[in-house]
Amino acid sequence: MSVQTTYQNIRRHPLAGPVVRFVAENSAIVALVAIVVIATILAGDNFMSQTNIINILRTVSIIGIISLGMTLIIISGGIDLSVGSALVLMGAGGIWVLNETHSIILSLLSTLAGGLIIGAINGTIITRGRVTPFIATLGVMATCRSLALYLLNGGGISATVPRYEVISNGDLFGISYPVFYFVIMTALVYVFSQKTPLGRYIYAVGSNEKATHLSAINVNRVKVLTYMIGGAMVAGAAIIETSRLNSVSAASSGTGYELDAIAAVIIGGTRMSGGKGSVIGTFFGVLILGILNNMLTLLGVSPFVTGTVKGIIIIVSVLVQRKE
């Protein structure tokens, strides 16, 4: 009934309705299928091989987990530009703790704490300081990168505890761990966003902040918590990233991650002004970006052109969504 009302105007043929409706509601999935088909035709067996598919999933898992948090932040009506730099700072901190204490648990906990703190700082500047999210997180972005460069003397830091790299480089049934992390985190964040009060408040704040406030909900608290969840996701991504390479570089790690994450969220169909969207859409958005990269590499296209294709996909996906 609800669907009929929404899409009445495009109902013509009895079959056309459901088809159009499916495309409209799941544009990210449809786009994904289209891209997979194109990739298979163009790159054939190379693309559809099991190792290649797992390789794609492994590569996107870091951006993927960041994108989950970014989705919630954008649904709440905000944005977080600090994710890439924050990843470097908390990753470096985590390795430092690891090298000092030789405790992987302590290292993980300290990275997570770092993520929560940076998220809390973002959220507090935005709510208490009434700074727009773009500006606040831009400032935090610059600060985090600069602190990392200063603390690491412009260089990097490597882990001295060998077991640390197992976190990212181990595998189960031939599938590397990060793939599991990404899939499990997607499921958890999805359930959180759909089933818990805080999840629903995040949507409410993005949809109508004033009405949410006047429904006796502490909007500031919701926002701060949203950025803290985003920070925790970045911490998870930082752990995977540092463990995969067993090191982190102050200058080059995490650059451009914020743009990739925002792109994945947009391709996934989340409304930039907040109130509407889903982490499931983002999951497929992440896959689309990953497959695109992979396909262009397999086809031997210059890596410098990848950005152009990515840019076009972002704009096209927004145009298609607006048509609905």
Partner 1 sequence: MNGLILDMRKMWKSFQGQSALRGVDFSLHAGEIHALIGENGAGKTTLMNILGGVVLPDAGEILVNGRHASIPTPAASHRLGISFIHQELNLVNDLRVYENFFLGAELRTAIGFVDEQAMCARTSEILRTLDVAIDPREMVGALDASYKQVVEIGRALLANAKILIMDEPTTSLTEHEIRYLFTVMRSLAQRGVSVIFISHKLKEVLTVCDGYTVLRDGSVAGSGRVSPSVSEEDLARLMVGREMAVEHFYEPRPLGGTVLAAEHLSSDRFFRDVSFELRRGEILGFTGLVGDGRTELFECIFGSRKKTGGRVVVEGVPRNLTHPEKALAAGIGLAPKNRKENALIKDFSVRSNATIARLRAFLRGPFIDSRRESLRTQEHVKNLNIKVSDINLPITSLSGGNQQKVVLAKWIEAGSRIMILDNPTQGIDVGAKAEIYHLVISMAQEGKSIIILSSEIPEVLKVCDRVAVMYHGELVGVLDRDSATEESVMMYATGAKGRADALQQERSHA
Q: Tokens 């497959």 identify what position?
A: 291
Determine how β-strand 175-176 pairs with β-strand 247-249.
unpaired
Q: Does position 50 bind partner 1 by CB under 8 A?
A: no
Closest distance to partner 1 from the beta carbon of 5 (Å): 6
Determine how β-strand 247-249 pairs with β-strand 156-158.
antiparallel
Listed as own residue / partner, the contacts of 109-114 with beta carbons closer than 8 Å and 24 or more positions apart are 111/235, 111/238, 111/239, 112/232, 112/235, 112/236, 114/86, 114/89, 114/90, 114/231, 114/235, 114/238
- How buried is 163 (Cβ within 10 angstroms: 0-12 exposed, 13-18 middle, 19+ buried)? exposed
Q: Does position 213 bind partner 1 by CB under 8 A?
A: yes
Selected from 5, 50, 51, 153, the binder of partner 1 by CB under 8 A is 5
Decide if 291 contacts 80 (C-beta within 8 A): no
Q: Does position 9 bind partner 1 by CB under 8 A?
A: yes
Closest distance to partner 1 from the beta carbon of 221 (Å): 9
Q: Does position 257 bind partner 1 by CB under 8 A?
A: no
Kind plus residue range of the DSSP H or E element containing 156: strand 156-158
Tell which residue, 197, 229, 209, 228, has the closest CA to residue 274. 209
Residues 13-42 that bind partner 1 (CB under 8 A): none
Closest distance to partner 1 from the beta carbon of 185 (Å): 17
User: Among the candidate windows 25-33, 82-90, 137-145, 196-204, which touches partner 1 by CB under 8 A?
Assistant: 196-204
User: Among the candidate windows 101-109, 212-220, 254-262, 281-289, which touches partner 1 by CB under 8 A?
Assistant: 212-220
Torsion of CA 274, 277, 283, 285, to 10 degrees: -70
Total of chain residues touching partner 1, rule CB under 8 A: 27
Tell which residue, 256, 251, 197, 200, has the closest CA to residue 66. 256
User: Among the candidate windows 155-163, 167-175, 211-219, 246-254, which touches partner 1 by CB under 8 A?
Assistant: 211-219
User: Among the candidate windows 117-125, 160-168, 205-213, 230-238, which touches partner 1 by CB under 8 A?
Assistant: 205-213
Listed as own residue / partner, the contacts of 107-110 with beta carbons closer than 8 Å and 24 or more positions apart are 107/164, 108/239
Q: Does position 172 bind partner 1 by CB under 8 A?
A: no
Decide if 127 contacts 220 (C-beta within 8 A): yes
Half-sphere exposure of residue 126: CA atoms within 13 angstroms, side-chain side: 31
Cβ-based neighbours of 86, under 8 Å, separated by 6 or more:
114, 115, 118, 140, 141, 144, 231, 234, 238
**Angle, helix 279-298 to helix 50-75, in steps of 10 degrees:** 140
Nearer to partner 1 (CB atom), residue 144 or residue 222? 222
Selected from 21, 151, 276, 324, the binder of partner 1 by CB under 8 A is 276
Stretch 215-234: interaction string toward partner 1, x if CB under 8 A: xxxx----------------
Give dist(CA 265, CA 66) in Å, integer: 10
Selected from 203, 227, 283, 284, the binder of partner 1 by CB under 8 A is 203
Closest distance to partner 1 from the beta carbon of 188 (Å): 12
Selected from 210, 302, 303, 319, the binder of partner 1 by CB under 8 A is 210
Residues 173-192 that bind partner 1 (CB under 8 A): 191
Nearer to partner 1 (CB atom), residue 99 or residue 271? 271
Nearer to partner 1 (CB atom), residue 47 or residue 203? 203
Closest distance to partner 1 from the beta carbon of 213 (Å): 6
Q: Which residues bind partner 1 (CB under 8 A)?
A: 1-2, 5-6, 8-9, 191, 195-197, 200-201, 203-204, 207-208, 210-218, 275-276
